[in-house]
Amino acid sequence: MTNAHDTEQVERANASGLTPVVFVHGLWLLPSSWDRWAELFEAAGYTAVTASWPDDPETVAEANAHPEVFANKTVGQIADHVAGLVGRLERKPAVVGHSFGGLITQILAGRGLSVASVAIDPAPFRGVLPLPISALRAAAPVLHNPANRHRAVPLTFDQFRFAFANAVDEDEARHLFETYAVPAPGAPLFQAATANLNPWTEVKVDNENPERGPLLIVSGEKDNTVPWAMANAEYKRQKANEGVTEIVEIPGRGHSLIIDSGWRDVADTALEFVRRFAATGGAA
C-alpha cells in the first residue's frame, strides 16, 4: 500500500539522481521527526526519504485527533511497507532508523535492501535476551493490558518523560512531548515481548545474509527504553555477519536523542558512517 507522502518522497528522490537515505521512525513518532536530519543529509549531498508507516497521518495534531489509524499495525506490515517504498527507489539507499525503526532498519538490511544501515537505540529482535528493568517499565503503558495489542496507545507526559526524555530537563521534555508525541500501535511491543517464545515471530532479523551491508548500532548512554545491554546484545548477534558491524555509545543521551537539542551529534555520527559506504552519486 502506498500513500501520497511516500509517493512524493520516492518521486523526488528518483528525480534527484542522488543516493537516497531512508529514515524510519519508531513508536510514538511520525516521519516529521526526521525533518532536521533530512536537511542535514541533503546538505551533505544525499536525497532524503522520510518513510511513513502504514496510514501515518501527516501531522501530530491529526494523529492525536485520530489515534485509531495506528491500531493493529504489526512489525511485519511496517517492514513490508517500508521495503515496498525502498523497492520503488532507483538507487539502493542507506537506511537510518530509530527505536522500532531501528529494528525495521535491521530487517531491511537482512533482506539486502540497503547499501549501509544505522540503527539508533533499536528495538530488540528474536535472539536478543537481555531485558533490563527500565525497558520493562518503558513498555508497561502498553503491555500492562493485553487488549492494547489491538489498540493505539498514547503516552502520558510522565510516561514519555521516562521512556524518551529522561536525559533532558523538564522544559525540553514538555516541548518534545507537545511537538512530537503521537499514539502508537500496541502490537509491535507485544510482538517484541514474545519474540523469543515464538519461532514464527515477525520480529526477526537475518543477521547472516552476506548482502546485509555495513551496519552501525547507536546507543544512548541513558536510554531507559533500549539500554546498552539490549543494544550491545543486538551488536553481538549482528557481528556474526561478514560485513562491517560497529556500535557506538553516545554519552549522556536518552531515547529522545534523534529529536532533542542534542540531535546534531547523533546525526553527524550517522552521517559519518553513511559517508564511508554510500557515495552521494555515481552508478547505482
Cell numbers linked to 276: 564511508
Residue 101's CATH number: 3.40.50.1820
Is 44 among the domain residues? Answer: yes
Residue 284 lies in a domain: no
- The neighbouring-strand residues paired with 216 are 118, 246
In a domain, 69, yes or no: yes
Distance, C-alpha 189 to centroid of its chain? 14
pLDDT in tens, the chain (284 residues): 458 899 999 999 999 999 999 999 999 999 999 999 999 999 999 999 999 999 999 999 999 999 999 999 999 999 999 999 999 999 999 999 999 999 999 999 999 999 999 999 999 999 999 889 999 999 999 999 999 999 999 999 999 999 999 999 999 999 999 999 999 999 999 999 999 999 999 999 999 999 999 999 999 999 999 999 999 999 999 999 999 999 999 999 999 999 999 999 999 999 999 999 998 874 44
Of 85, 243, 140, 244, nearest in space to 101 by CA = 85
Within a domain: residue 283?
no
Whether residue 56 is contained in a domain is answered as yes
In a domain, 164, yes or no: yes
Domain count, the chain: 1
Q: Whole-prediction pTM value?
A: 0.96
C-alpha cell at 24: 524510519
Q: Domain range holding 38?
A: 4-277
Is residue 120, in this structure, part of any structural domain at all? Answer: yes
| Residue 115 CA, distance from chain mean position | 17
Task: Give the pairing of strands 152-153 and 184-185.
Answer: antiparallel
Rounded CA Rg of the chain: 17
Q: Enter the DSSP assignment of 180.
A: H
- Spatial contact of 257 and 220, defined as CB atoms under 8 Å apart: yes
8 Å CB contact between 41 and 118: no
130's torsion region: left (phi>0), alpha (psi -120 to 50) or beta? beta
**Residue 282 resides in a domain:** no
